[in-house]
């Protein structure tokens, strides 16, 4: 029975919880058994809080903690995973940093409080790179998280632990965060779905960068309908975050349920050669995006000018790091990994004129995307520039023959979208010749999460790849791509 339960979608599990056909305790037991069976091979959920979860479950079963029952996003006792960047009261929370190796917060982050108020039960913390910085999930506290499709490869980052937990059936839903692609990249590399919402859709609560739109919180799941459900749980105004706004009148779940074509779909594999993308990835995505046509959509190659997006993102991200890490560099420099030091020092060395230039360019990029969406409903790109690479490398070395200068240089497909404040969903679209997952990134106009989710649901319906997970971890080797 436990194996049957972990294969339920989140929506199916919630429906059974609501009907009383299964209890939260039974789902926790099923998750615990699955974690015990597979996590040793992938290291996705290094911190568990199962007794805390069972206490929460018993309260729900006794009729307590049900004040939000019936609201959009009600999870009815469904176990979820929380990324180890976010505080959960009484649970070890390290942020992937040796500085916080033994940190146990007294209070949960406002988003965790919201998830728990809406019936979610936290069963554990998913692994992340140090402070969430990087496209490969590893840190000095818990080590490396491995891709379940081939454990010799990376799962991506920084929400790598969440993506792996979903793909292997250890969790039905996973929380994550996204700055340059941290929800979208791991979803693509692990063949699940992840969404970067528009800034303000989901609270960031305790962040020091409360006025920056770069980093957001968001959902990850195995299916688009599950993704919409978890976004309903997360979305809404929060007094701890000045950028948040009210949830929409129609739930995201309802919007996905009525998803239908036709849509005007613009596709680009690499923005006319501006962005390095692996050749086979380009070919797979260009072929698979045509599946939108089976839903009555028009698909054509078109894209907006992204301008100097790579330089703009680096300048603004580096200032973001100054806010977050300047003081820690002064007190714990020896305990912080070189990539974070480099990124922070880039910001410290930046001039006010450079930041002003970057903000002007970001505004211009937003205006070009807004104009573009006057002609197109969604923009589709590859979800990542290449499939998963060697888990022992901190980042990709090259993409499509181009040598990469730094650890974020391979992320322009997603970081360019970050600059626009547009929501984006990553959805699986196939596998390369080595069996590595490949995916699409579906981008909609700012604050139009429902449109992005509807387009993703249309594609998922014809592609059918959501039915391939969960899987058991598979051993493998690093492909020789020469």
What residues are labeled active site?
Answer: 83, 158, 182
Measured distance CA(385)–CA(175) in Å, rounded: 23
CA 302 to the chain's CA centroid:
26
Which residues have a Cβ under 8 Å from the Cβ of 258 and sit 6 or more positions away?
A: 454
Look at the block and give the residue holding tokens 């176990």. 79
Measured distance CA(476)–CA(360) in Å, rounded: 46
Measured distance CA(200)–CA(247) in Å, rounded: 10
Which helix (H) or strand (E) is 444 found in, with range?
Answer: none
Q: Look at the alpha carbons of 222, 223, 229, 233 in this order and tell me if their dihedral is positive or negative.
A: positive
Classify the phi-psi angles of 477: left when phi > 0, otherwise alpha if psi is within -120 to 50, otherwise beta: beta
Please provide the DSSP assignment of 150-185 as one string: -TTBB--SSSHHHHHHHHTTS-S-EEEEESSSTTHH
Coil, strand, or helix at residue 424? strand
Helical segments of 83-134, H only:
110-117
Between the alpha carbon of residue 131 and those of residues 48, 287, 337, 388, 479, the distances in Å are 19, 37, 10, 21, 29
Look at the block and give the residue holding tokens 């573009």. 372
Residue 37, preceding peptide bond in cis (omega within 30° of 0): no
Q: How many other CB atoms sit within 10 Å of the CB of residue 76?
A: 21
Residue 262, preceding peptide bond in cis (omega within 30° of 0): yes
- Phi, psi of 360, deg, nearest 5: -65, -40
The two tokens of residue 45 are 């959920």
Please provide the DSSP assignment of 45-58 as one string: --EE-HHHHHHHHH
Between the alpha carbon of residue 329 and those of residues 98, 333, 341, 405, the distances in Å are 14, 4, 7, 23
Select from 62, 125, 119, 115 the least CA-distant residue to 95.
125
């Amino acid at each position: 029975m436990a194996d049957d339960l972990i294969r339920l979608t989140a929506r199916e599990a919630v429906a059974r919880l609501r009907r009383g056909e299964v209890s939260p305790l039974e789902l926790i037991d099923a998750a615990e058994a699955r974690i015990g069976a597979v996590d040793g091979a992938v290291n996705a959920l290094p911190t568990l809080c199962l007794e805390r979860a069972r206490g929460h479950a018993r309260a729900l079963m006794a009729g307590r903690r049900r004040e939000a029952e019936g609201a959009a996003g009600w999870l009815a006792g469904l176990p979820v995973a929380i990324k180890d960047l976010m505080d959960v009261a009484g649970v070890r929370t390290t942020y992937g940093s040796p500085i916080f190796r033994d940190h146990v917060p007294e209070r949960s982050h406002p988003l965790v409080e919201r998830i728990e108020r809406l019936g979610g039960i936290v069963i554990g913390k998913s692994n992340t790179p140090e402070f969430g910085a990087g496209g490969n999930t590893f840190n000095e506290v818990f080590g490396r998280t491995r891709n379940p499709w081939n454990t010799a490869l990376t799962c991506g980052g920084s929400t790598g632990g969440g993506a792996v937990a979903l793909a292997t059936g250890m969790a039905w839903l996973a929380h994550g965060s996204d700055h340059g692609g941290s929800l979208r990249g791991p979803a693509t590399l692990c063949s699940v779905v992840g969404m970067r919402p528009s800034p303000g859709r989901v609270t960031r609560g305790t962040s020091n960068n409360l006025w920056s739109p770069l980093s957001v919180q968001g959902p990850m799941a195995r299916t688009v309908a599950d993704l919409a459900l978890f976004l309903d749980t997360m979305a809404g105004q929060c007094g701890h975050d000045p950028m948040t706004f009210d949830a929409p009148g129609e739930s995201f779940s309802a919007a996905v349920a009525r998803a239908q074509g036709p849509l005007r779909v613009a596709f680009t594999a690499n923005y006319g050669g501006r962005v390095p993308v692996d050749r086979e990835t380009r070919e797979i995505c260009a072929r698979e995006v045509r599946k939108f046509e089976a839903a009555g959509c028009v698909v054509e190659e078109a894209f907006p000018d992204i301008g100097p997006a790579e330089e703009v993102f680096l300048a603004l991200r580096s200032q973001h790091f100054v806010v977050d890490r300047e003081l820690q560099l002064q007190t714990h420099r020896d305990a912080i990994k070189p990539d974070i030091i480099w990124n922070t020092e880039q910001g410290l060395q930046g001039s006010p004129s450079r930041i002003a230039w970057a903000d002007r360019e970001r505004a211009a990029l937003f205006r070009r995307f807004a104009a573009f969406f006057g002609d197109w409903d969604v923009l589709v790109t590859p979800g990542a520039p290449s499939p998963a690479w060697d888990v022992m490398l901190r980042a990709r070395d090259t993409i499509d023959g181009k040598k990469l200068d730094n650890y974020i240089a391979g992320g322009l497909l997603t970081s360019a979208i970050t600059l626009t404040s547009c929501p984006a969903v990553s959805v699986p679209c196939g596998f390369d010749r080595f069996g590595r997952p490949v995916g699409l990134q579906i981008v909609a106009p700012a604050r139009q999460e429902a449109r992005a989710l509807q387009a993703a649901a249309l594609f998922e319906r014809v592609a059918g790849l959501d039915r391939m997970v969960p899987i058991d971890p598979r051993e493998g080797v690093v492909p020789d791509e020469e």
